[in-house]
Amino acid sequence: MFFKKKVVMEIEGEGAAQQVAAQAEKFYRSGKMHCAEAVLAALKNQFAPELSDDLVRLASGFGGGSGAGCICGAVSGGTMALGLVVQGDKKAVAAMTRELHAWFKEQYGATCCKILTAHGKKGCADFTATVAGKVAELLLDR
Protein backbone atom coordinates (compact mmCIF):
# COMPACT_ATOMS: atom_id res chain seq x y z
CA MET A 1 0.00 0.00 0.00
CA PHE A 2 1.31 3.46 -0.92
CA PHE A 3 0.06 5.34 2.12
CA LYS A 4 0.54 4.24 5.68
CA LYS A 5 -2.23 6.58 6.72
CA LYS A 6 -5.06 7.64 4.44
CA VAL A 7 -5.65 11.35 4.41
CA VAL A 8 -9.23 12.27 3.63
CA MET A 9 -9.93 15.97 3.67
CA GLU A 10 -13.26 17.68 3.78
CA ILE A 11 -14.22 19.35 0.53
CA GLU A 12 -14.48 23.04 1.39
CA GLY A 13 -13.98 25.13 -1.74
CA GLU A 14 -10.69 26.97 -2.13
CA GLY A 15 -9.32 25.64 1.16
CA ALA A 16 -9.68 22.10 -0.16
CA ALA A 17 -7.74 22.97 -3.31
CA GLN A 18 -4.92 24.37 -1.18
CA GLN A 19 -4.92 21.23 0.97
CA VAL A 20 -4.75 19.02 -2.11
CA ALA A 21 -1.86 21.11 -3.46
CA ALA A 22 0.01 20.86 -0.15
CA GLN A 23 -0.52 17.11 0.05
CA ALA A 24 0.67 16.57 -3.53
CA GLU A 25 3.79 18.62 -2.85
CA LYS A 26 4.43 16.64 0.34
CA PHE A 27 4.12 13.33 -1.54
CA TYR A 28 6.54 14.61 -4.20
CA ARG A 29 9.07 15.96 -1.73
CA SER A 30 9.03 12.67 0.20
CA GLY A 31 10.93 11.12 -2.70
CA LYS A 32 8.55 8.16 -2.72
CA MET A 33 6.45 9.51 -5.59
CA HIS A 34 7.20 11.44 -8.71
CA CYS A 35 5.02 14.28 -9.98
CA ALA A 36 2.28 12.29 -11.73
CA GLU A 37 1.89 9.87 -8.83
CA ALA A 38 1.80 12.68 -6.26
CA VAL A 39 -0.87 14.65 -8.13
CA LEU A 40 -3.04 11.58 -8.73
CA ALA A 41 -2.66 10.38 -5.12
CA ALA A 42 -3.61 13.72 -3.55
CA LEU A 43 -6.64 14.13 -5.81
CA LYS A 44 -7.74 10.53 -5.27
CA ASN A 45 -7.51 11.02 -1.52
CA GLN A 46 -9.68 14.14 -1.73
CA PHE A 47 -12.30 13.16 -4.28
CA ALA A 48 -12.36 9.36 -4.35
CA PRO A 49 -10.96 8.10 -1.02
CA GLU A 50 -12.97 4.91 -1.29
CA LEU A 51 -10.85 3.78 -4.24
CA SER A 52 -7.74 1.70 -3.76
CA ASP A 53 -4.38 3.38 -3.31
CA ASP A 54 -3.17 0.85 -5.88
CA LEU A 55 -4.65 3.13 -8.56
CA VAL A 56 -1.70 5.46 -8.07
CA ARG A 57 0.52 2.84 -9.69
CA LEU A 58 -1.22 3.68 -12.97
CA ALA A 59 0.74 6.93 -12.94
CA SER A 60 4.14 5.30 -12.41
CA GLY A 61 5.19 5.59 -16.05
CA PHE A 62 4.22 9.23 -16.44
CA GLY A 63 6.95 10.90 -14.40
CA GLY A 64 9.67 12.78 -16.22
CA GLY A 65 7.47 13.40 -19.23
CA SER A 66 6.55 9.73 -19.57
CA GLY A 67 10.21 8.88 -19.38
CA ALA A 68 10.83 10.66 -22.68
CA GLY A 69 10.52 14.27 -21.57
CA CYS A 70 7.29 15.03 -23.37
CA ILE A 71 4.17 16.07 -21.44
CA CYS A 72 4.75 17.21 -17.85
CA GLY A 73 4.04 14.35 -15.45
CA ALA A 74 2.09 16.60 -13.10
CA VAL A 75 -0.26 17.50 -15.96
CA SER A 76 -0.56 13.80 -16.84
CA GLY A 77 -1.43 12.94 -13.24
CA GLY A 78 -4.02 15.71 -13.16
CA THR A 79 -5.54 14.47 -16.40
CA MET A 80 -5.79 10.94 -15.00
CA ALA A 81 -7.44 12.29 -11.85
CA LEU A 82 -10.06 14.11 -13.91
CA GLY A 83 -10.99 10.86 -15.64
CA LEU A 84 -11.03 9.02 -12.33
CA VAL A 85 -13.34 11.48 -10.59
CA VAL A 86 -15.60 12.57 -13.47
CA GLN A 87 -16.75 9.13 -14.51
CA GLY A 88 -19.04 8.71 -17.49
CA ASP A 89 -18.78 12.25 -18.86
CA LYS A 90 -16.00 12.21 -21.44
CA LYS A 91 -16.97 15.62 -22.80
CA ALA A 92 -16.59 17.22 -19.38
CA VAL A 93 -13.26 15.46 -18.83
CA ALA A 94 -12.03 16.60 -22.24
CA ALA A 95 -13.10 20.19 -21.57
CA MET A 96 -11.44 20.27 -18.15
CA THR A 97 -8.30 18.66 -19.60
CA ARG A 98 -8.10 21.37 -22.27
CA GLU A 99 -8.57 24.01 -19.59
CA LEU A 100 -5.83 22.44 -17.44
CA HIS A 101 -3.37 22.32 -20.34
CA ALA A 102 -4.12 25.89 -21.43
CA TRP A 103 -3.79 27.15 -17.85
CA PHE A 104 -0.49 25.31 -17.31
CA LYS A 105 0.98 26.59 -20.58
CA GLU A 106 -0.06 30.13 -19.67
CA GLN A 107 1.50 29.80 -16.20
CA TYR A 108 4.77 28.11 -17.19
CA GLY A 109 5.17 28.72 -20.93
CA ALA A 110 5.16 25.06 -21.96
CA THR A 111 3.78 21.65 -21.06
CA CYS A 112 6.88 19.79 -22.24
CA CYS A 113 8.91 18.32 -19.38
CA LYS A 114 12.19 18.74 -21.30
CA ILE A 115 11.58 22.46 -21.61
CA LEU A 116 10.34 22.87 -18.03
CA THR A 117 13.34 21.02 -16.58
CA ALA A 118 16.03 22.28 -18.95
CA HIS A 119 17.86 23.85 -16.01
CA GLY A 120 17.04 21.17 -13.44
CA LYS A 121 14.03 19.85 -11.63
CA LYS A 122 13.86 22.61 -9.03
CA GLY A 123 10.41 23.67 -10.29
CA CYS A 124 8.86 20.21 -10.18
CA ALA A 125 7.55 20.47 -6.61
CA ASP A 126 5.77 23.70 -7.59
CA PHE A 127 4.37 22.15 -10.79
CA THR A 128 3.10 19.21 -8.74
CA ALA A 129 1.40 21.41 -6.13
CA THR A 130 -0.12 23.92 -8.51
CA VAL A 131 -1.49 21.29 -10.89
CA ALA A 132 -3.08 19.34 -8.02
CA GLY A 133 -4.64 22.57 -6.73
CA LYS A 134 -5.89 23.59 -10.17
CA VAL A 135 -7.47 20.20 -10.82
CA ALA A 136 -9.15 20.34 -7.40
CA GLU A 137 -10.54 23.77 -8.32
CA LEU A 138 -11.83 22.43 -11.65
CA LEU A 139 -13.52 19.53 -9.89
CA LEU A 140 -15.00 21.71 -7.17
CA ASP A 141 -16.35 24.17 -9.75
CA ARG A 142 -18.04 21.36 -11.67
Lowest mean pLDDT among 4-8, 16-20, 23-27: 4-8
Q: Tell whether pTM > 0.85.
A: yes
Question: Does residue 4 sit within a domain?
Answer: no
Q: Which residue has the higher pLDDT, 2 or 135?
A: 135
Provide the residue range defining the domain that includes 130. 14-141
Digit-coded pLDDT (tens) for 65-109: 887 778 999 999 999 999 999 988 999 999 999 999 999 999 999
Amino acid 15 reads G
Question: Does residue 6 sit within a domain?
Answer: no
Question: Does residue 81 sit within a domain?
Answer: yes
Question: Does residue 8 sit within a domain?
Answer: no
Digit-coded pLDDT (tens) for 26-41: 999 999 999 999 999 9
Question: Does residue 5 sit within a domain?
Answer: no
Task: Give me the number of domains the chain comprises.
Answer: 1
Q: What is the DSSP string of the chain?
A: ---SS-------THHHHHHHHHHHHHHHHTTSS-HHHHHHHHHHHHH-TTS-GGGGGGGTT-HHIIIII-B-HHHHHHHHHHHHHSTT-HHHHHHHHHHHHHHHHHHHS--BHHHHTTT-STTHHHHHHHHHHHHHHHHHH-
Question: Does residue 7 sit within a domain?
Answer: no
